[in-house]
A and B are shown apart, each in its own frame.
Chain A
Amino acid sequence: MQDPPPISRRLLLGGSLALAGAAATGCAIPVGLGSSRTRVQYWHFLGASDGIIMNKMVQAFAKDNPDIFVEENVLAWGEPYYTKIAMAGSGGRSPDLATFHLARLAGIGAGQILDPINVKLLEEAGLRGADFSPPIWERAHLDGVLYAIPFDAHPMVQYYNTDICGKAGLLGPDGKLKPTKGVDELVAALGKAKEVMGGKPPLTYDALGIGTVGPWRVWYSLYPQSGGTLLSDDGTKIAIDDAKALEVLRFMRRLGQEGLCDRRTDYGASVANFTNGQAAFLWNGDWETTGLKERKTPFSMTRFPDVFGSGAAQADCHSFVLPHQRNRDPEVERATYRFIAYLVKNSADWAVAGHVPAYLPALEEPEYLALQPQSEYRSVITEVSLDPQVWFAGSASRLWLEFGQAFSPVITGDRTPEEGLAAAKAALARLLSAPDPFPAEERQ
């Protein structure tokens, strides 16, 4: 203690100042002062296998475009992500580019939180509206103004364990799952799988958990199959067909009661069970593909089963948006569009993650068609059931959480289908009566 310090105070101070300086510029080192590279700040929520593939694409872009540095910033998915986008956009000092769920576009305050897409620059980068799936391209607009560039659609799909299904005799001569039609055929197939599995529930999906949206996803796949809608066309009135909605809920509950579906699993457990061969079927979004392949699960996947009259499946679309910036650097802007165009044109690489490209030319590429099992369910793209275009809809939105919360106890058996539907309708009524924070008349 009494010894003089080995380092003089001035030296220490200077040293720490230098360190602090280095830390402050740390993230900018790749584009440091004097560098000719343009930095594009990119936020996305693509974790796990999606994230690995996105990272590969970013690196591939960097290789081809040494003059542009894309700074990837991966954030947690869901409500927290949209909170951050809203905060960043409202401050006007946001990242140059962000991924976004198309169904949330109506609720984010386009024009206030998001800037419109510069169609001229987009065309300069080589992307035209005609190259995209028309209904999805349509959804990227609000009042005729383009606010997002669609990247993919990610529908609910049916994963199946090829070993178990083979033993249960559910596979056709080509080794693919024989499609079922209607309630009885599906129940029969599940019954056979259950037998092979020694009485264990053969189907799994996230039925409960904190902030679960699984019950919504399954219900909103099945209910539109019978032609049911949620809201009137103008999005102001509840248009739920009680009989159809209840039929679906009763069916979801029945699967649990008859031991055909594991009704007390959360998201993680449902995926884990399927990965480990503890379930023959998994109902989930298409994004688990890469993870299942990595873990060597003997699986394939197909379209969500046709139970109530069509093959509709709940879906949302990833897209790119430009969060609001007070002063957008034209050079960075150009680089951003180049990066977007690169990603979209290489959608076949992105499809490895399981998603169906929104960029039509990619759907025809032999590269994509060779992807197995990803190209198996591409036909769903014409039958996706997208959220109603209202401010409280979209991935991880209030609509999803409220419906997930209303239906979860129906699946677990703690609430009757009637009570579940009543809770969902009450929540929907509240959402409809609450004022839109970004009313259309405020747009620009």
Chain B
Amino acid sequence: MTSTTVAPPATAAPVAQEKVRRGWTQHGLLFVAPFLLIYLAFLVWPTVLGFRMSLSSVNIAGGNNHLVGFANYAEAFADPRMWRSLWNTLVFTVLSTVPLVLLGLGFALLVHHLRFVQWLWRLSFFGPFLLPSAVVSLLWLQMIYPPDYGLINGTLGTKTLWLADPSVAMWSMVLTTVWWTVGFNFLLYLAALQSIPQHLYEAAAIDGASAWDKLRSITLPLLGRTTALIVVLQLLASLKVFDQIYLMTAGGPQDSTRPIIEYAYDVGFTGYRTGYASAVSYILFVLIVIVSLAQLRLFRKRAEVSS
């Protein structure tokens, strides 16, 4: 953005910069110090500690604590269950992000243009997002997915094993997740829609633009930044999926839904190998950093283009 904006008058610039810099050293550090300390103690230090752990054979009781170098990583890269769970995480991320963004946009457009009982539509789309993951899981597990008496099979007259069939289970998890979390994206889109100035549409109407033209040339471009934000948030959220899958399928059947976080949990807490679990967690950590960096670059380009 800075590259194309008009530069401020040259004479004022050095003074302003001087002030800012002095402020940072004099008071700024003091103000951020509490946060910085918490950040160091609860984020940076555990991150370092976790990495040290991933190089050891330490167990859940803190015993057997020997440095083993990169043996845990070597084991993880040769572990088909690690790859399977990593693959599941990526599949889940792709399958869930696309409908979550598109449906969020669709619902927001719908509600934005509906003129009656708007609060009811907002509530119905956003409501599920307010439920805790345990409630959502129980609801789908006990009422919607049961093969014999569940809502879906009961209505359609089918006999699908929604959660027990390895070829269906992942789709079931995506469906539940979309129902549960689409409300958040919907809300972000709705807020963005409401901030688009009405006069743009009025001007377009005068020029004889159709509804489709308005959507394509005004609404969607102006929602660009929101979309970018939603995609980033959604990718990160989906990569970190755990609750609903753990509660509904525990990673089964046939490992078809186990995400990488659950695999780390499994080997660490139920398999008692804390060191190995740390290594698996670090593999996910690196993956998330890569995705975030890629997104950041994309974001910056988009920002430059739009300005």
| A434 x B60 contact (CB < 8 A) | no
The 8 Å CB contact of B255, one of A269, A405, A409, is: A405
Q: Known: A109-B272, A398-B271, A405-B252. Is A90-B163 also a contact (CB below 8 A)?
A: no
For B61, the chain A residues whose CB sits under 8 A away are 86, 89-90, 109, 112-113, 324, 438
Q: In chain A, residues 236-294, which have Cβ atoms closer than 8 Å to a Cβ of chain B?
A: 264, 266, 269
In the complex, what distance in Å separates the CA atom of A398 from the CA atom of B163? 21
State whether the Cβ of A83 lies closer than 8 Å to any Cβ in chain B. yes
State whether the Cβ of A87 lies closer than 8 Å to any Cβ in chain B. yes
For B249, the chain A residues whose CB sits under 8 A away are 210
| A210 x B57 contact (CB < 8 A) | no
State whether the Cβ of A211 lies closer than 8 Å to any Cβ in chain B. yes
For B164, the chain A residues whose CB sits under 8 A away are 208-210, 266
Nearest first, the 8 closest Cβ-Cβ pairs linking A and B are A90-B61, A437-B59, A112-B61, A437-B272, A210-B252, A79-B270, A437-B273, A83-B269
State whether the Cβ of A430 lies closer than 8 Å to any Cβ in chain B. yes
Q: Mark B268-283, 1 if CB is under 8 A from A, else 0.
A: 0111111010000000
> Contacts A86-B61, A107-B272, A210-B163 given; 9 further ones with Cβ under 8 A?
A86-B269, A90-B61, A113-B60, A209-B164, A405-B252, A405-B253, A405-B254, A437-B271, A438-B64
Secondary structure at chain B's binding surface: helix, strand, loop or mixed? loop
For A211, the chain B residues whose CB sits under 8 A away are 250, 252
Q: In chain A, residues 101-132, which have Cβ atoms closer than 8 Å to a Cβ of chain B?
A: 107-109, 112-113
State whether the Cβ of A435 lies closer than 8 Å to any Cβ in chain B. yes
For A108, the chain B residues whose CB sits under 8 A away are 272
Number of A positions contacting B (CB below 8 A): 32
For A147, the chain B residues whose CB sits under 8 A away are none
Nearest B-chain residue to A404, judged by Cβ? B252
Question: In the complex, which range does the number of interface residues on chain B fall in?
Answer: 20 to 34
In the complex, what distance in Å separates the CA atom of A438 from the CA atom of B81? 22
State whether the Cβ of A339 lies closer than 8 Å to any Cβ in chain B. no
Q: Mark A133-149, 1 if CB is under 8 A from B, else 0.
A: 00000000000000000
Nearest B-chain residue to A409, judged by Cβ? B254
| A430 x B253 contact (CB < 8 A) | no
State whether the Cβ of B62 lies closer than 8 Å to any Cβ in chain A. yes
For B57, the chain A residues whose CB sits under 8 A away are 435, 437
Q: In chain B, residues 149-169, which have Cβ atoms closer than 8 Å to a Cβ of chain A?
A: 161, 163-164
In the complex, what distance in Å separates the CA atom of A208 from the CA atom of B163? 11
The 8 Å CB contact of A109, one of B59, B75, B250, B270, is: B59
Q: In chain A, residues 364-391, which have Cβ atoms closer than 8 Å to a Cβ of chain B?
A: none
State whether the Cβ of B34 lies closer than 8 Å to any Cβ in chain A. no
Nearest B-chain residue to A396, judged by Cβ? B270
**Shortest distance from the beta carbon of A254 to any chain B beta carbon, whole Å:** 22
Nearest A-chain residue to B75, judged by Cβ? A434
The 8 Å CB contact of B269, one of A87, A107, A208, A434, is: A87
| A86 x B272 contact (CB < 8 A) | yes
Q: Mark B236-268, 1 if CB is under 8 A from A, else 0.
A: 000000000000011011110000000000000
Q: Known: A434-B75, A437-B60, A439-B64. Is A210-B253 also a contact (CB below 8 A)?
A: yes
Q: In chain A, residues 402-418, which have Cβ atoms closer than 8 Å to a Cβ of chain B?
A: 405, 408-409
The 8 Å CB contact of B59, one of A79, A87, A112, A409, is: A112
**Shortest distance from the beta carbon of B171 to any chain A beta carbon, whole Å:** 16
**Shortest distance from the beta carbon of A316 to any chain B beta carbon, whole Å:** 17
In the complex, what distance in Å separates the CA atom of A87 from the CA atom of B61? 8
**Shortest distance from the beta carbon of B10 to any chain A beta carbon, whole Å:** 57
State whether the Cβ of B207 lies closer than 8 Å to any Cβ in chain A. no
Q: In chain A, residues 74-96, which have Cβ atoms closer than 8 Å to a Cβ of chain B?
A: 79-80, 82-83, 86-87, 89-90
State whether the Cβ of B79 lies closer than 8 Å to any Cβ in chain A. yes
| B60 x A90 contact (CB < 8 A) | yes
| A210 x B250 contact (CB < 8 A) | yes
| A83 x B64 contact (CB < 8 A) | no
State whether the Cβ of B8 lies closer than 8 Å to any Cβ in chain A. no
State whether the Cβ of B63 lies closer than 8 Å to any Cβ in chain A. yes
For A113, the chain B residues whose CB sits under 8 A away are 60-61
State whether the Cβ of A442 lies closer than 8 Å to any Cβ in chain B. yes
**Shortest distance from the beta carbon of A439 to any chain B beta carbon, whole Å:** 6
| A112 x B63 contact (CB < 8 A) | yes
| A109 x B269 contact (CB < 8 A) | no
In the complex, what distance in Å separates the CA atom of A53 from the CA atom of B262? 35
**Shortest distance from the beta carbon of A335 to any chain B beta carbon, whole Å:** 26
Return 21 A-B CB contacts under 8 Å, by A number: A79-B270, A83-B269, A83-B270, A90-B61, A107-B272, A109-B59, A109-B63, A109-B272, A112-B59, A208-B161, A209-B164, A210-B249, A210-B253, A211-B250, A211-B252, A269-B148, A430-B80, A430-B81, A437-B59, A437-B64, A437-B274
In the complex, what distance in Å separates the CA atom of A204 from the CA atom of B61? 41
Q: In chain A, residues 429-443, which have Cβ atoms closer than 8 Å to a Cβ of chain B?
A: 430, 434-435, 437-439, 442
